[in-house]
Amino acid sequence: MCDDLIHPGLVTDTRLSRRSFGAMALGAGAAAASPALAQSNVTETDVTVKTADGNCDAVLFHPTAQGTHPAVLIWPDIMGLRPAFRDMGRRLSEMGYVVLVPNPFYRSAKAPVIGDNFDFNNPEQRARLFGFRAAMTDDGIDSDAKAFVAFLDAQPQTAKGKKAGVQGYCMGGALSFRTAAAVPGRIAAVGSFHGGNGMVTEDADSPHLLIAKTNAAYLVCQAQNDDKTAPTVKDDLKAAFAASQKTASVEVYAADHGWCVKGSAVYNEAEAERAWSNLGTLYKTQLA
């Protein structure tokens, strides 16, 4: 869970204005309906994934060229599915993957759940997001993860003989650990980016306690200000990985919580690109 004392305040994206988002949605629908209008190398389609708790709105990407590719699930941060995460899904698909980016808050609202200027320091706006997150129980998340991976596996573009990956940002870091534990036979690689100090807690459902239940290699990229407030998290994660004999990289990046996502006040391009590079290496080695 995001720490409201750590998370950046203002998140800006003009594409989230009502007019801009409506035009973008129409454009995505047209691309889905007509392959000729899709991007030359990636096809983007708005989809609905049926889960045990309802219908989840999501976006699916796959390379336009013929052939099959490994699947990857992206869990967004606390501000949910929005243009910045569509950009991430598209970029990852350009790297050769079938990618699903769900709206994690589908039980409460359709995406996007924030506007073009979201202030995380605004108590009312923050409380709304935390309310959406509270509607996601551990059992619900695990069930969602299974549904999302099954949806990816059902796509004709998904390589059936290759393992899948999952990556998450902010709260999505913990959700990625849960996904690896919920579908241990499918997930072979996990990426967590500024997952926050909730990655290691004293609770019985702490994400680090799930590591032993997984069959994955890990890339854990911690923010420097998260590390400053809880410097033992990285060591506890390393110990859990070692005890479970899992291949893992745990590193504190020279950037603050939220640095990977464009639109954030703390977006750090150099460190974000380094994270992308390390993620690419993880997937090439584990999903080949």
- Domain with 67 in it: what CATH number? 3.40.50.1820
**DSSP track, 20-85:** HHHHHHHHHHHHHH-GGGS-SSEEEEEEEEEETTEEEEEEEEEESSSS-B-EEEEE--TT-S-HHH
User: Would you say residue 1 lies in a domain?
Assistant: no
**pLDDT surpassing 80 at residue 285:** yes
User: Would you say residue 4 lies in a domain?
Assistant: no
User: Would you say residue 77 lies in a domain?
Assistant: yes
Residue 119, Ramachandran bin (φ over 0: left; ψ between -120 and 50: alpha; else beta): beta
Give ∠ CA 148-151-152 in degrees, rounded to 5: 90
The better pLDDT of the pair 216, 12 is held by 216
Q: Are 81 and 58 in contact (CB under 8 A)?
A: yes
User: Would you say residue 73 lies in a domain?
Assistant: yes
The total number of structural domains in the chain stands at 1
Question: Quick one: pLDDT band at residue 17, thresholds 50, 70, 90?
Answer: low
User: 43 is in which domain, residue-wise?
Assistant: 10-286
pTM above 0.95, yes or no: no
Those residues with Cβ within 8 angstroms of residue 178's Cβ, 6 or more apart along the chain or in another chain:
138, 141, 142, 145, 207, 210
Question: Quick one: pLDDT band at residue 90, thresholds 50, 70, 90?
Answer: very high
**Span 120-126, mean pLDDT?**
85
Predicted pLDDT of residue 4 = 45
User: Would you say residue 21 lies in a domain?
Assistant: yes
**pLDDT surpassing 80 at residue 34:** no
